[in-house]
Homo-oligomer: A and B are copies of this chain.
Amino acid sequence: MLIVQKYGGTSVADAERIQAVAQRVKREVDAGHQVAVVVSAMAGVTNQLVEHARSISRLHDAREYDVIVASGEQVSAGLLAMALQALGVSARSWQGWQIPILTDDAHAKARIEKIEVDTLKERLAGGEVAVVTGFQGIGPDHRITTLGRGGSDTSAVALAAALEADRCDIYTDVDGIYTSDPRIVTKARKLERITYEEMLEMASLGAKVLQTRSVELAMNWGVRLQVRSSYNDEQGTLVVGEEEIVEKEIVSGIAYSRDEAKVTLNRVMDKPGVAANIFGPLADANINVDMIVQNISADGKATDLTFTVPKDDLDRTVEVLEGERKNLEFAELIADRNVVKVSVVGVGMRSHAGVAQKMFQALAEKGINILVISTSEIKVSVLIDEEYTELALRSLHHAYGLDDD
């Protein structure tokens, strides 16, 4: 088998952890497998490098930023290759530009376009472990690019796709995907399998185990992902196509995100084009609007509009809208940071009615007021007051029969 493994920052945090990773890689090699390993920077290093860059200049050249932050993975790749050699395992490190991992020119948030794997394949077939720097590649300008935070997941999946690997194991500090956050929902269960689409929703809804883009990529290329712990040998969670899951759960998990803020515009004139007048300027300012709900007013002349934006963008959002006040003719703008988005996710929803109804009912029974609702094919999300987060998660987990008994 050809296996791609990816280790996050905590898994390569120091010499001892790196040596443990080397042991793990050696086991697969001893079992006769070909192994390519993608590594992140040692825990804390990337933050420190970003801090260095910020201390020089807040508004900096993304190309120089990439040069600086990409150095972290270079170090951990070299160290892991050394640790493998010390165990008698043939290994070498590869930087993004050496393979090369070709990306577009969007520095600091580049996308992988192609990975030249001929040499790598040869070396792997010859029994050499390839230790590859995650998070980075080389752009058309012949300069180092990085893929954005969490980009090593994407590197691993892209490499697995290019190498046509049999498996892509993502080693992290949690041992799999849970039905909900186990720190809050003590009865949360580890899932044996989850579909790409569910994982995608979970990731974008706040479950930070995998980078969203890496899941998209895995889905598009049919890469079998496994999320597992680098601290033990337990099976993790397989992320696979829907066809591989015979008995589909109606709801697979309950996710939540504290990253959004709510904005309400009171008594906006209800006339054609008003939504465009509001959301156009926000789009121009590169602000991502998520949930939107519009109430028609009693007199039919004005309307209340509520939507969510990332908390980090709330100040800018208020600024942009106040700047458009004359155009928009709203009575009042109300911003609220104390909200949480709670979502139930499951591919089984497609064939089962009443999933949303059960959610509303469970929340109502606990006296939790729903501020905004949004739905997609495989998820229902509600915005509620932040103080109800724990109560809502536990109630929903129970209501959908997910509790581990």
Given A74-B74, A98-B143, A142-B98, A53 contacting B79 (CB threshold 8 A):
yes
B contact residues around A86 at 8 Å (CB): 56-57, 60
The answer for the CA separation of A68 and B76 in the assembled complex, in Å, is 8
Does A64 contact B85, Cβ atoms closer than 8 Å? yes
Interchain CB contact (< 8 A) of A83 among B56, B67, B98: B56
The answer for the CA separation of A15 and B68 in the assembled complex, in Å, is 14
B contact residues around A116 at 8 Å (CB): none
A77 on the B face (CB < 8 A) = yes
A75 on the B face (CB < 8 A) = yes
Scan A54-69; emit 1 where CB is below 8 A from any B CB, else 0.
0111001101110110
Does B68 contact A92, Cβ atoms closer than 8 Å? no
Interchain CB contact (< 8 A) of A67 among B52, B72, B93: B93
B contact residues around A15 at 8 Å (CB): 52, 55-56
Does A93 contact B79, Cβ atoms closer than 8 Å? no
Q: Dominant SS at the A interface?
A: helix
The answer for the CA separation of A64 and B93 in the assembled complex, in Å, is 7
Scan A139-165; emit 1 where CB is below 8 A from any B CB, else 0.
000111000000000000000000000
Interchain CB contact (< 8 A) of A74 among B60, B71, B85, B142: B71
Q: Which of A96-120 contact B (CB under 8 A)?
A: 97-98
The answer for the CA separation of A14 and B56 in the assembled complex, in Å, is 9
Scan A40-58; emit 1 where CB is below 8 A from any B CB, else 0.
0000000001001101110
A19 on the B face (CB < 8 A) = yes
The answer for the CA separation of A19 and B15 in the assembled complex, in Å, is 34
Nearest to A144 among chain B residues (CB) is B95
Interchain CB contact (< 8 A) of A60 among B49, B82, B98: B82
B contact residues around A18 at 8 Å (CB): 56
Nearest to A85 among chain B residues (CB) is B61
A281 on the B face (CB < 8 A) = no
A78 on the B face (CB < 8 A) = yes
The answer for the CA separation of A230 and B4 in the assembled complex, in Å, is 48
The answer for the CA separation of A64 and B84 in the assembled complex, in Å, is 11
The answer for the CA separation of A49 and B15 in the assembled complex, in Å, is 12
**Given A53-B78, A56-B79: 19 more A-B contacts, CB < 8 Å:** A14-B55, A15-B52, A56-B86, A57-B85, A60-B86, A61-B85, A64-B79, A64-B81, A64-B85, A64-B92, A67-B74, A67-B75, A67-B77, A67-B78, A67-B81, A71-B71, A74-B74, A98-B142, A98-B143
Instruction: List the 7 closest pairs (A to B, CB-CB), nearest first.
Output: A67-B78, A68-B78, A15-B55, A71-B71, A57-B86, A64-B78, A56-B82
Which residues of A pack against B, CB within 8 Å? 14-15, 18-19, 49, 52-53, 55-57, 60-61, 63-65, 67-68, 70-72, 74-75, 77-79, 81-83, 85-86, 92-93, 95, 97-98, 142-144
